[in-house]
Structure 1
Amino acid sequence: MKKEKISKVILCVLVAFTFLSCLKPKGKEKKEQQLNVLWINADDLGRELACYGNPDVSTPHIDKLASEGILYTNAFSTAPICSTSRSSIITGMYPTYINCQDHRTLNMTKLPEGILPITKYFQKAGYYCTNASSEDFSKNGKEDFNFLNDGLFDGTDWNNRAEGQSFFAQVQIHNPHRLFVKDTENPINPDKVFVPECYPDHPLIRADWAAYLESVQECDRQVGRIMAKLEKEGLSDNTIVILFGDHGRPHLRDKQFLYEGGLQVPLIVKYPKSIQLGTLNNDLISLIDVTATSLDIAGLEVPDYMHGKVFIGDKKDQRDYIFGFRQRAGDAPENMRSISDGRYKLIWNRTADRPWMQLSSYKKLQYPAFTLYHVLNERGELGSPYNLLMAKTKPVIELYDLKNDPLEFSNLAEHKDFKNVKNKLFSTLKTNLKEFEKHMVLEDQATIEKAKKGSAKYYINSLKKQKPELSPNATNEDILKDWEKRLVK
């Protein structure tokens, strides 16, 4: 009898212990409870998506992501070109502060002391960090950082992590970067698309725009494959997904420019089992805020030095301004800065003596509009306001009312009614640049000449592969005829 009573007591103790174990604070199981964080980063992806209101493109997978999460309508990159923007995103810092302002910096330096890429913080917290190509998870995704580093990732596929280990992952989608990919399944008719009014309505522009939208559709398919992988592997309920473009769309007056088309990007955040389904958010967001926010939502401390702000949750920090940076891109050296409060936008052209349309071997090779503008201007057929871009010099200050002039054609910098707006924005920009440019090292003339020679070599080699029938000395008229032959039917 006594043995039976003892057995019952032991059984009761075990049951009670098991019950109490289930009630222990979740913080003690932090490693098992940590959320995975997935960045889906698409090259040159603008807001030309159905969920952002574009009726000419089919993007069901990105639309689904938006319907399950939060769509941000005012997100911007820090720079209108990949390596500069990506250097900012991975560190949460403005590019000039970390000396990463020049595209594919020739004289790379290490990050300033104390500043680390976001992966180092995740790794320290026990995360497995990956960077993969969307087309093949066994291959590295695009990095293109402008600073010296000793390797930022543990692998390419999160499936190689230890059992129970959380992951931070980047999956890189090449599309819709040029060269554009044709969509044979769902082709887009150039004659029926709406071409943004910041470009002239020309058959070549229409054909190029339709090709871009088809490449966006291929990007959407890649997003679908990534999300299907998450679902198939049972990770959807424990992974935060953040989708964005590394900068704005790859068109003239957009990429490599500080106008809205070069800086504005899509941004969608999906929480596991989110109750905020299909939410729209109009807050000003910089892509460096994605860095700070990713750390915070994973339960990690955000370093005090980071320029990025947390835009979700209890630690949300409202942003007042968006800052943009443009320096040398290939063989086109520049020094431009911008600031926007969401309503008004000021651009400071510190190299105002140079034309907007100075030689860019990359654009000459891949942008039909680059050649078209030159030819139409030479013929006297490039009308206003498009011919403004062909000026031999730039104004030192540009000021735009984004509400009434979203295309940024009417410069209000010298308008007396906007003097106070200009002065406030310019003063705020200059004050902040004292901090943001703290570690910036300007390229000397020898480095710029080296970059120009490298771009000239790139142009000739790429021309042989992509357009062997064209001579490196082909005139703008010759290049235009080639573009029309390729794109206009």
Structure 2
Amino acid sequence: MKFNILKLVFFIFLFNACKDIEQDKKTIKKPNIIWINADDLGRELACYGNPDIKTPNIDKLAQQGTLYTNAYANAPICSSSRSSQITGMYPTTINSLDHRTINMTTLPDGIKPITEYFKEAGYFIANGSGKDYLRKGGKKDYNFVPSIKYDGKDWSERAEGQPFFAQVQIKYPHRVFEHHKENPINHETVTLPGCYPDHPLLKADWALYLESVQKCDDIVGWVMQRLEDEGLADNTAVFFFGDHGRPHLRDKQFLYEGGLQIPLIVRLPKQVNSGKTDNRLVSLVDVAATSLNLVGIESKHRLHGKVFIGDRQETRDYVFGFRQRAGDADDAIRSITDGKYKLIWNQMPEKPWMQLSSYKRSEYPAFTVYRVLHKNGQLQAPYNQFMADSRPEFEFYDLDNDPNEFNNLVDDENYKDHFKRLKDVLQTNLKNYDKNQILESEETIQKGKNGSQNYFKKKMKKLGLPEAPSDEELLVYWNKTLLGKE
């Protein structure tokens, strides 16, 4: 009898304990995830050491989280990069590398956007446009079909207590650049990156870029204050990054450092990683894998991204870069870096660096400046390398000693082992990464060219210029617009 009573007491205790555990599971809050994605943002921030700019809100975020010094996009243009971000896969593997792919395909082999994994776990999926989220959704620009179905534009639309995965898209500092009224930047005193000649138009354009970065900073401050005001800060992981590198001549659309380098700052819930700097190699494709891991979600397919935060961190030895057609500039470039050495494979070396890009000709004063200076024999070395009629098949750089990537070491015997190592790793991996890419037909490429050239004509009309202006006419326009010179 005594034994039966003890058994009964034990089972009552066990039953109540199980109830308590279940209740605890229900009360534990799943962490929220926010991606703050800035359009065309390089590392030109005060917290990354730029002395010409004021970015107090991003600097504060870095003080509260971890700043990654060696983070890279894997494509130097928005649609390819964003397609890769949201799937955790390289853009060639999902046939999304051609910018704004004309003949879009579905994702292969069971691959799906990570938004689907969050939905399955009960998350609200939002995509908004900075402070303008109530009026319109955020930028998507994905190169695959069907389009992602978001639950709303903002996390405020979710059910009470529902966890959320939200993308906050910031249009700055994408061109057209905008002045920052509170903190104007004097173009005469800014320091240009070393890959550009010291020219007044380039400095004026650079100063405007920095002012647009400051407008991005304003929105970051607004987002972070919202989290505090709504009591969400202590249960939300924030990832801040640029979708690819800076929007300048030798940067965006190219696989040089300026086109792929991005800022990456991560603030975990309750600021558990406050004020740290992390020098590991990180690829933007890693953000998806890391975000899923932080909330305990397993993807059903193997992601290319590696987890760089949490309980199952993976080491990344190399970062890969990918570029294909962008508007009317048809190209094929691949790259690899180990953080010290960089290899670029120009698969269409017959194409010049300065082949026609109608978008860049209409929006980038440097495109015109380079052409005019070169015609007049005034573009000095090493900048004049960019005007060559063709490119080498391979470019190899020692980034520590040549951060501007001017001195191609392919034929230098002192670097032959490093060159061979990176070449072998790149070409071996591309056999897998590139296998799902569907090359565009000549007809499709021509459609892309026609679209870009029509854009150029409309832009020129809007600016009050001829449909096909000369470089000299465009130079007059830029001098007047940026420097006030007639």
Q: Same fold (TM over 0.5)?
A: yes
Is 1:474 paired with 2:449?
Answer: no
Q: Which runs of 5+ in 1 are unaligned?
A: 1-15
1:140 pairs with 2:125: no
Is the contact between residue 117 and residue 152 of structure 1 (CA under 8 Å) also seen in structure 2?
Answer: no
Q: How does 1:301-312 map to 2 (within 5 A)?
A: 301-312=298-309
Is this contact kept in 1: 2:117–2:299, CA < 8 A?
A: no
3-state SS of paired residue (1:113): coil
Shift of 1:28: 2.2
In structure 2, C-alpha distance between the alignment counterparts of 1:473 and 1:292, rounded to whole Å: 46
Equivalent position amino acid for 1:99 in 2: N
Q: 2:210 aligns to what?
A: 213
Distance 1:445 1:315 in 2: 45
Q: 1:303 to 1:57 in 2, by over 3 A?
A: farther
1:315 paired residue among 284, 289, 312: 312
Q: Deviations over 1:166-213 (max 9, x none)?
A: 000000000000000111111000111111111000100110000000
Deviation of residue 481 (structure 1)? 1.1
Alignment CA distance shift 1:293-1:185 (3 Å): same
Native 8 Å contact 1:40 1:241 kept in 2:
yes
Q: CA RMSD in A?
A: 1.6
Letter in 2 for 1:94: Y
| Bigger Cα displacement from structure 2, 61-70 vs 144-153 | 144-153
Give the superposition deviation at 1:23.
6.1
- Structure 1: distance between partners of 2:426 and 2:449: 30
1:70 pairs with 2:66: yes
Superposed, which structure 2 residues align to 1:162-311 within 5 Å?
Answer: 162-311=159-308
Which of 362, 365, 374 pairs up with 2:359? 362
**Aligned match of 1:52:** 48
Give the equivalent residue in structure 2 for 1:81.
77
Query: Equivalent residue of 2:270, what SS?
Result: coil
Deviation at 1:275, TM superposition (A): 3.0
| Whole-angstrom CA distance in 1 between matches of 2:23 and 2:446 | 59
Query: Letter of the aligned partner of 1:242 in structure 2?
Result: F
The aligned amino acid for 2:429 is N
| Partners of 1:247 and 1:303 in 2: CA distance | 27
Cα distance in 2 for residues equivalent to 1:370 and 1:103: 20
Alpha-carbon offset, residue 113 of structure 1: 2.7
Give the 3-state SS of the residue equivalent to 1:220 in structure 2. helix
Distance 2:24 2:356 in 1: 57
Please tell me whether residue 97 in structure 1 is matched to residue 75 in structure 2: no
In the alignment, is the contact (CA less than 8 A) between 1:249 and 1:262 conserved in 2?
Answer: yes
2:325 corresponds to which residue?
Answer: 328
The aligned counterpart of 2:430 is: 433
1:450-489 equivalence runs, <5 A: 450-465=447-462, 467-468=463-464, 470-489=465-484
Contact residue 120 and residue 152 of structure 1 kept, 8 A: no
1:137-172 per-position Cα deviation (integer Å, ceiling 9, x unaligned): 222000000001243311101111111110000000
Q: 1:314-371: per-residue Cα shift (whole Å, max 9, x none)?
A: 2000101000001000000000000001110000000000100000000000000000
CA contact (8 A) 2:30 2:295 kept: yes
**Equivalent residue for 1:160, pick from 157, 161, 172:** 157
Structure 1: how far apart are the matches of 2:91 and 2:147? Answer: 19
Residues in 2 aligned to 1:27 and 1:476: alpha-carbon distance in whole angstroms = 69
Amino acid in structure 2 at the alignment position of 1:346? L
Please give the per-residue CA displacement for 1:62-96, whole angstroms capped at 9, x wherever unaligned.
00000000000000001000000000000000000
Alignment match, 2:126: 130
State the shift of 1:253 in Å: 0.5
SS class of match (1:399): strand
What's the secondary structure of 1:130's corresponding residue?
strand
- Cα distance change of structure 1 residues 439 and 20 upon mapping to structure 2, 3 Å threshold: same
Deviation at 1:27, TM superposition (A): 6.8
Give the alignment partner of residue 351 of structure 1, picking from 348, 362, 367.
348
* AA of the residue aligned to 2:119: Q
Moved more, 221-230 or 394-403: 221-230
Give SS of 2:93's match: coil
Classify the secondary structure of the residue corresponding to 1:205: helix
Q: Give the superposition deviation at 1:274.
A: 2.0
8 Å contact from structure 1 (residues 173, 219) kept in 2? yes
Q: Is the 8 A contact 1:385 1:409 kept in 2?
A: yes
CA contact (8 A) 1:74 1:282 kept: yes
Residue among 370, 385, 389 paired with 1:388: 385
Taking the aligned partners of 2:301 and 2:165, their CA distance within structure 1 comes to 21
Matched with 2:4 is none
Q: Quote the Cα distance in structure 1 between the aligned partners of 2:147 and 2:214.
A: 35
SS at match of 1:346: strand
The structural deviation recorded for 1:33 is 1.6
| Matched residue, 2:117 | 121
Aligned length: 471
Cα distance 1:391–1:35, how it changes in 2: closer, same or farther (>3 A)?
same
Provide closer, same or farther for how the CA distance between residues 382 and 26 of structure 1 changes in structure 2, counting only shifts above 3 A: farther
Amino acid aligned to 2:48 = Y
SS at match of 1:282: strand
Q: Distance in 1 between matches of 2:197 and 2:20?
A: 66
TM-score normalised by L of structure 1: 0.94
Q: Distance in 2 between matches of 1:300 and 1:414?
A: 47
Which residue of structure 2 lines up, in the alignment, with residue 3 of structure 1? Answer: none
Residue deviations 1:406-462 (CA, integer Å, cap 9, x gap): 110000011111111111111111100010012100001111111111111111112
